[in-house]
Structure 1
Amino acid sequence: MLFSNQRRLHNSRFRTGAAIAATLLASGCGGNDEEAVRTQACYPLDDPGTETSATGSGSDEECRPADEVDLADLSVESWCRSDVQSIHGEGTKRPAFQTVQLACCYPVSAVNTDPNCVVGRPFFEGDSTRVAPLLTRVDRPHARAWLEAAQAEHASVAAFARLTLELMALGAPLPLLAKVQQAAEQEVRHTQLCLQRAAQLGAPAPSLGRFPFSEPIVVSADPVAVAVACVREGCLGETVGACLAELAVTRCSDERAAAALEEVAQDEARHAALSWEIAAWLIQMGGDEVRAAVATELQQPLEVHNPRHLWGADAVDPQTLTDMLTHIHQSVLEPAARLLAAA
């Protein structure tokens, strides 16, 4: 489990960053902003399970006039769950929902009804996350949940690949590069586990389509930019991903699924430890400017990135998730900020 795994990490030969992870994550994984905000909400034009949407070919369907749109059809693509309260303008057609799938998107006022959920290390293009499209149609909720988990784990492979190149550009030591490469291999394994579990639950020949890179991958040699991304994708994303996976283990009644989740939880805990280690190395290399950027990013609220499924485990009430994330802030992020400031 996460707790014992982190004690073992604490006794290893990690330096500042890993010591932070071991000490803080050992504390375990034990507020919902209901104010409406102005944002964009969309409804899909293409079927996400078809090859058409996977390749990004367009739909001839036009966006409905704003006064003819059912608010219940709209969702905010970067939130797990949303309550769209009003539309403020006409829709435009664009790719959405973390893929090249076309959607009609409208300016709206909406409430994030399930904030503060993050899972794993997402792949970002700018401020948007990307996942490969599903090429399998399935109506069974638990099978669908494992397919969505496979999408998230698969995207983490791309995130670690980019991180490897950026660390090389900054002259990172070989042992650190080796750990990042190992983490990418583990994400491939997680993707395989999720697809296998989806097949066991009735998904026919589950698979993922082409990854929707919409722009060339930029390899940053700016230690500040790399550190901020490391905090956002790793220190935050992987830490919460490990806690969510462990929470799912406790709610899983199927032994095979629980074993897969146990492996994911332990690996995600290692990835979180690695992220703290990388952040500490970047601070040592880049100095006060990097330290200040890391401290600022750690103060940002946890964002929403696709964990509504919890890998098909029994549903978790919002209060449990809120309590867990509050605990992470108090027992992980705040102490981490203090330790990194003193590094």
Structure 2
Amino acid sequence: MGNNVHLLSEAEDPKVLLLGHFDTVWPVGTTADWPFSVSDGIASGPGTFDMKAGIVQAITAIELLPDASHVSVLLTSDEEVGSATSRDLIEDQARKAGAVLVCEPSADGGAVKTGRKGIANYRVEVTGKAAHAGLEPELGVNAGIELAHQILSIAGLSSTDTSVTPTLLAAGTTVNTVPEYARCDVDARSWTTAALAEVDRAMRVLAPHLPGAVVTVTGGIDRPPFEEAIAESLFAEAAAAARELGLPPLLAVRSGGGSDGNLTAAAGVPTLDGLGAVGGHPHARNEHVDVNAMPAQAALLAVLLARLGERPRAA
């Protein structure tokens, strides 16, 4: 798909899709000064936690199954940048399987993820009018000041469960010129589809405060929310699998970060996320994986896959 290569192994009789990605946030060459290593049971290196170890566990789980003919596997290469080229493929394979297990990193202590915030991204651009900042500033329309008004309005859209955050900001060309152009990027996240849609509507109707200024908003909802109800049936199966293996009770959490599980959950396909490695600090230099926890994680996934293979195909 374009310059992105995605790996798909489609099952003969798909009942569950194992979903993951092999891209990372790290630039080419990072391994030169931060190579993969394992020391005292801790694996470190670019992408180990998010989510190379999850791929290893998924392959191991499949190898543990006496019959894996019901398990499809899809590994994408653009998850970290929004899944633009893989989204249709992800949704199509999810619907075919009727259930999705996402091998993204687990939460603290191996907890799975039964909900994720939806994500919207916007760019707000302001066009004003340039003028000499000292001689005749009154003839200009200051795009920077207009953007400041917009930022305050945008930040006011946040609530207890919804974050709307202006992030990257830019304005002006020279220190002695009234800025004729300014922009900011906005990251919005919420637990529910309704709340994120409300933010989207508010962003679309932003209006200028200064006479002569023009405000343009582009972007929109990138990953819809992964609402908890869609994970209930699969979490019950996973909790039963943990009991079958004699593991501690399985815990579930919600995550503010997004994944391709947002896409499959929003498509109405039962989805359970966070079935990957135990570790910490994704996207950071101290990203790491607890290697000693990997066998139990792989075993849990294998038993869960086996249980789903015994279920009737989802509608």
TM-score using structure 1 length: 0.26
The structure where strand makes up a greater share of residues is 2
- Select the structure of larger CA radius of gyration: 2
TM-score using structure 2 length: 0.28
